Structure 1
Amino acid sequence: MRLLLADDHDLVRETLAAFLLAEGFDEVRCVATLPEALQALSDGPRYDLVLLDYTMPGMNGLEGLSRALAAGQGVPVAIITGTAQRDLAKAALEAGAAGFVPKTLASRAMIAAVQLMASGDVFAPISLLMEEPEMALTLQSLTRRETDVLRGICQGKSNKEIARDLDLQEVTVKLHVKTLSRKLGAKNRTHAAMIARDAGLT
């Protein structure tokens, strides 16, 4: 899997790139400006995901996102930023971003978000897309058992381990995973765990 990372902060860029490579990504090409990112997209090879720093030189707000989307010809492009603003997140997603990723995300959550976006899904922290009352209602819609299963997922446990801990059949746990994921709007187990952590459930 090839990634293009564009960020003008050397430490952020190098740290994130090193972590992504350590997690098994095949290539992470780093650049520091939007013009460099556009050049990399035109030169090839084709990338699986582009990560653009919202405030780096040349971006001019979401105009840089539009230019990168055009240059990438179908390659998903996500915004990374140190400023987590709900309005900006929604505007970026509406403009076609594959995701809106705060740099404050924990490293594991960052990796999960990158994997999610590279696979064709869209990512943004639930706290940026939902008002607090909405988030509370969503979490309250989970049954006690669904919440217990979700906590197990967040701890990295398998369905079999969760079933043993809760004294349930594994097939029952699978059903709970399916229903809680639907309620949370989660694409998969990893996404459900990310939503739960972002909402402060764990």
Structure 2
Amino acid sequence: MEDIAGPDRVLIVDDHSLVRDGLRSIFDDAFPDCEILEADCLESALAALDSSGEVDLVLLDFNIPDVSRLSGLEQLRDRFPATPVVMVSGVTERNVVRDALAAGAAGFVPKSLKRSQIIEALELVLSGEIYMPELPGDDSAAAEEDLIRARIASLTPQQRVVLSHLVAGRLNKQIAYELDVSMTTVKAHVSAILQKMNVFSRTQAVIMVGKIDFTG
């Protein structure tokens, strides 16, 4: 994948030092200028984010001592909604993957993937898309489309209208003029859309919606 801006800083959260070392080596090779932060539990991860400031990406192990299932992801998304979180796990059951993505993970990376595949997955997330692994017997494209439709279905009618304007490439002031509402109202709708669709930018929302036949 070409022209992908590498991350400036990432946080790796895993209670096994060997796994952290392996992921660190991947970043050292693929993104040599990236600063790597590490944490062995959710508590230390939250502390690192609070003290170190913004990171471009969090890699979160599915099974760490102080979380239950997706509680770690949910806390990170709640406290740092603009930060993409990629789940990394040896667990690859379909329901786990889909639940994680539905809860707002920017991707789900099985630890069994080859090094080159992990890099491709990270590049995909950094480009603004969601990475969903191919699972045996699963139509991953259809599963992703179902996920996108479910997120869009959670929008109010007015939010769907605003989303259609975003897809058309209109700026907030243009949307406000078209809908005869204030800029403050448009901004509130856009924020709600990003939150409900579990994305981090207008661009990512547009990329996501572009994968289905969205008519507003």
Which residue is equivalent to 1:27? Answer: 35
Report the Cα offset of residue 80 of structure 1: 0.6
The one of 2, 8, 22 aligned to 2:15: 8
Kindly indicate whether the alpha-carbon contact (under 8 Å) linking 1:85 and 1:128 is maintained by their aligned counterparts in 2: no
Kindly indicate whether the alpha-carbon contact (under 8 Å) linking 1:42 and 1:72 is maintained by their aligned counterparts in 2: no
Instruction: Provide the secondary structure at the position in 2 that maps to 1:74.
Output: coil
Determine what percentage of the aligned residue pairs are the same residue.
35
| Structure-2 separation of matches of 1:8 and 1:47 | 20
Q: Residues 24 and 81 (structure 1 numbering): CA distance in 2 closer, same or farther, change over 3 Å? A: same
The one of 62, 67, 76 aligned to 1:68: 76
| Structure-1 separation of matches of 2:128 and 2:43 | 25
Instruction: Provide the secondary structure at the position in 2 that maps to 1:127.
Output: coil
Stretches of structure 2 that go unaligned for 5 or more consecutive residues are: 1-6, 144-210, 212-216
The equivalences for 1:121-160 within 5 A come to 121-127=129-135, 130-131=138-139
Instruction: Provide the secondary structure at the position in 1 that maps to 2:38.
Output: strand
Query: Which is bigger in relative contact order (C-alpha 8 A, separation at least 6)?
Result: 2
Kindly indicate whether the alpha-carbon contact (under 8 Å) linking 2:70 and 2:100 is maintained by their aligned counterparts in 1: yes
Say if 2:101 is the partner of 1:83. Answer: no
Say if 2:120 is the partner of 1:120. Answer: no
Amino acid at match of 1:64: G
Which residue is equivalent to 1:161? Answer: none
Size of the aligned set, in residue pairs, is 135
Structure 1 stretches of 4+ moved >3 Å:
none
Kindly indicate whether the alpha-carbon contact (under 8 Å) linking 2:73 and 2:105 is maintained by their aligned counterparts in 1: yes
Which residue is equivalent to 1:100? Answer: 108
TM-score by length of 1: 0.62
Render the CA deviation track for 1:64-113: whole Å, top value 9, x for unaligned: 10101122231011111011111100000111110111000100110111
Render the CA deviation track for 1:121-151: whole Å, top value 9, x for unaligned: 100113279349x79xxxxxxxxxxxxxxxx
- Calculate the aligned-residue CA RMSD, in Å: 2.1
Report the Cα offset of residue 57 of structure 1: 1.5
- Give 1 or 2: higher helix fraction: 1
Which residue is equivalent to 1:55? Answer: 63
Stretches of structure 1 that go unaligned for 5 or more consecutive residues are: 136-184, 186-202
Report the Cα offset of residue 3 of structure 1: 1.0
Kindly indicate whether the alpha-carbon contact (under 8 Å) linking 2:13 and 2:59 is maintained by their aligned counterparts in 1: yes
The equivalences for 1:175-194 within 5 A come to none
| Structure-2 separation of matches of 1:129 and 1:4 | 32
| Structure-1 separation of matches of 2:38 and 2:71 | 20
| Structure-1 separation of matches of 2:137 and 2:95 | 9
